[in-house]
Structure 1
Amino acid sequence: MSNAYRRILRNFFLIGLAFAVSSGCKRDEPATTHTQTPDYATPIRAALNQDRSAGEKFREAAKTDKLAAVRDYLQALRQIDLRACPVDFQEAFLKHRYAWEELLPFMEKYDGYTGDLVAFFELGSAIINNQSTTTEGDREVARIRKAISASYFEVEKIALRYGVQAQH
């Protein structure tokens, strides 16, 4: 290879190197240094706290009027603003709310349901796994209870991904 070609190649190399350095290309910095990850912990914590507060009111109100307690709880869930939360948390929380929404038609269908709704939801799987659920209403409540529990587990799991643990 002649000296002229070497000089041309060397000049192209130097020009390319100068361009890379002048354009701010740095090996140790990611390309997205100007964007920051949003703080999702704060809005997730706020949503979970609102849910917990509404749940406490629900448990107290259910002692006197179960149907009104469910309606009020659902209204409180609908009012929780999830827009600042990450999409996966929003979706999980909405699934949880929709699981609760299934309880209202059940209670209206079985007007006069005499079961202790609060105790039923607090006892959880011990009742669900009992194979003596023979009536249609018992099976429907068990299905709704499972959906509520499973959806809330998903809400808690996603919240943990963002560093937030639900308070019970």
Structure 2
Amino acid sequence: MNAHLQPTGSAYFLTQETQQAERHTLSVLVDNEPGILARVVGLFSARGYNIESLTVSETEHDRRLSRITVVVVATPKVLVQIKTQLERLVPVHRVHDLTAEGAYLERELALIKVRGSGEHRAETLRLADAFRAHIVDATVESFVFEVTGKPEKIDSFIALMSPLGLVEVVRTGLAAIARGAEGM
């Protein structure tokens, strides 16, 4: 197959992609009803788009609204397609590209289990303190740390824990909100 017809990460690989893919955080306000998450995820999978992070939670109980935060890496062309398709789903109220709209805050939570004994135990605790990681469980053989922050901070902590006895990592996915006085 010709190089220009090879898949590029887009389901529409028969046209050559010339733009660079970028990471974008989308915030989607939806009705909190059964099946909406499956419909959103189905939209991505049917078109071959990859989701890097996905979180969903009810945010306005009285109005039965939920917020879905989706992190994708896409070219500008594919990003427009993603946003357009999301806006067409019936229970979707609004779609915001937080990355493109300006300043926003993002945080993630991770639980990280690390084996620890002897010298490694002391080094593990020292590094956890430097990252402001909280000990949520401790035994004579291991720790479970809770780390919150930007994904890059969590990635760095995990990388440092790997040679010290990293056992397991559980991440929540990204939560993000625009800065300023305006709501979604």
TM range (shorter): under 0.3
**Which protein is richer in helix relative to its size?**
1
TM-score normalized with structure 2 length: 0.22
TM-score normalized with structure 1 length: 0.24
Which of 1 and 2 has higher RCO (CA within 8 Å, sep 6+)? Answer: 1
**Which protein is richer in strand relative to its size?**
2
